[in-house]
Chains A and B, each alone.
Chain A
Amino acid sequence: SQKIEQNSEALNIQEGKTATLTCNYTNYSPAYLQWYRQDPGRGPVFLLLIRENEKEKRKERLKVTFDTTLKQSLFHITASQPADSATYLCALDPLSSGSARQLTFGSGTQLTVLP
């Protein structure tokens, strides 16, 4: 069956360190993968999209990698700050054609950056 798994339900790190979140998927061949941030009581907010032919993408302190052989994406936040504390969701289009269908989401990792 198709599955999207994120490494752990909760991750605590010290301010200034790099947070690394993992997203693994099985039985999908996505054309792209996305990462979202969700704060308590709010809807998810788009952060980054990486395509199957891209190995890495960066945006400010964020970096995403995508390994289609391992079927894994890593999401890094460098120089983490307490304001980065939130739940991070990975999501992918379940159709390999990358057509405009809805995303399927992982269960999320709750990140807490300790001051």
Chain B
Amino acid sequence: SAVISQKPSRDICQRGTSLTIQCQVDSQVTMMFWYRQQPGQSLTLIATANQGSEATYESGFVIDKFPISRPNLTFSTLTVSNMSPEDSSIYLCSGKGVSETQYFGPGTRLLVL
């Protein structure tokens, strides 16, 4: 199974600033995803991170707000731009290999003041 690490694990940020979250997978995966989970809620997919090309965003999420990079198979970043308190959430990186199982990182807990 894949082991996925994220950093930072948590952060407190000021309104209007940006935060970049890093995700590293310990083995090659075919797909990487970014999810958001607000308190008491389920996971909402933000985008699929595509290696070497622009990410594929879900409805309600745009590249200007959540730019994503994936320079190689095992690394991706998500930036939360121009943050507001509504962006306070847990951000989860996920990877999927040849099996149907998805593996998740521990999450980044973000609080925007």
Contacts and interface: CB of A to CB of B under 8 A. Distances in A.
Nearest to B93: A43
Q: Per DSSP, are chain B's interface residues mostly helix, strand or loop, or mixed?
A: strand
B33 interface: yes
B86 interface: no
Interface of A: 32, 34, 41-46, 49, 89, 91, 93, 98, 100-108
Q: Per DSSP, are chain A's interface residues mostly helix, strand or loop, or mixed?
A: loop
B92 A43 contact: yes
Interface stretch (B37-45, B61-69, B70-78): B37-45
A105 B109 CA distance: 19
Of listed A43, A46, A100, residue having the most chain B CB within 10 A: A43
Contact of B104 (A44, A93, A104, A107): A44
